Amino acid sequence: MRGSRVLLVIAALVVPNQSSAQAARPWIRLDGGFARYAMSDLNKFGVGYFNQSFPSLDMPEANNGYTYGGSLGLDVGRGVALGVSFARRSAKTKATWNGTIVNDQNYGTYQAQVDVDYDLGAQTISGFAEYTFVRSARSDAYFGLSLGRIISSAKQGYTQTGYLPLSYKYDGSGLCFEGYVGAEHWVAPQLALVGRAGYRAAKVSEVEVDGTKMFWLANGEEMAIDWSGFDVQAGLKAELQALGVQHVVGGGGDRRWRRVCLLPTICRRPSNATQGHVKG
């Protein structure tokens, strides 16, 4: 008897009712854009050091870069969506100097060329929650919060005439928190243009240099790679649905379509907006 009750409880939790099946709508979003990064330690003690050592080097700071990624979400009803996201971020800077090096320990005073470059990259894996606060016939506006892990990797290259090239690798990870606002406009029944802007706090405070922990800067502090900053992105969003399900897409106005969906294909909504029903 007790076993039967347990099975009934498990069935009630696992098998969704009709209303929950109608509310839960999976989707995928791909986007990319431009990002700003703090990189205060790198710019001050890396780029800044080389610019002081070679006055005419004029190496740009590593403050700008690109970001791209994707999200897999689930609309759970009442304007709320939950999901996971992956993003790739990058930043680069480099410069070349030609001039006279004085009092070199091996060559004394001689003409040399110096090349310096930084190639930075990071991946973030996060869970997110979004809430749609404006919904019209074809357009939505939402805000979101995400929390995850950022894994950072950077390479520094240095070459100087008369010497073998030098290369250093900076690795580390840390927490990444992001807040953003966005909008989407449905250009087809199953496809939307999306755009968003936000700010991320993502500072990697424990950095390994060539596999060795603890890298101390000239001021005695531990080095950090700071990916914090603003970004602006644009992309596409497509709605998906479970195998063989038909139902109405809510949202007010005339945004009601019958959908016939087969994973992994994108949902198809006929142009004539008709009310449908769940057909398990």
Q: pLDDT for 27-60, tens place per residue?
A: 999 999 999 999 999 998 899 999 999 988 899 9
**Sequence-distant contacts of 16-19: CB under 8 A, at least 24 apart:** 18/278
What does the pLDDT average to over 231-240? Answer: 96
Q: What pLDDT was estimated at residue 218?
A: 67
Q: For residue 210, how many C-alpha atoms fall within 13 Å in the half-sphere facing its CB? A: 5
Tell me what percent of the residues of the chain surpass a pLDDT of 70: 76
- pLDDT surpassing 70 at residue 223: yes
- CATH for the stretch 27-239: 2.40.160.20
Whole-prediction pTM value?
0.77
* Stretch among 49-53, 205-209, 224-228, 251-255 having the lowest mean pLDDT: 251-255
Tokens of 222: 């531990």
CA nearest to 246, candidates 204, 278, 211, 274: 278
Rounded CA-CA distance 40/224 in Å is: 8
Q: What pLDDT was estimated at residue 217?
A: 73
What is the helix (H) or strand (E) element at residue 13, kind and residue range? helix 2-14
The chain-wide mean pLDDT, for the chain, equals: 82
> Is the sign of the CA dihedral 181, 236, 140, 147 positive or negative?
negative
Q: What pLDDT was estimated at residue 56?
A: 86
Q: What is the pLDDT of residues 117-167, one digit of tens each?
A: 999 999 999 999 999 999 988 999 999 999 999 999 999 999 999 999 999
Rounded CA-CA distance 268/280 in Å is: 17
- pLDDT surpassing 60 at residue 232: yes
Q: What pLDDT was estimated at residue 231?
A: 96
- pLDDT surpassing 90 at residue 71: yes
- pLDDT surpassing 80 at residue 261: no
171: which strand partners? 153, 208
What does the pLDDT average to over 164-177? Answer: 95
What does the pLDDT average to over 264-271? Answer: 44
Q: What pLDDT was estimated at residue 214?
A: 63
CA nearest to 59, candidates 98, 96, 91: 96
Tokens of 53: 């050592």
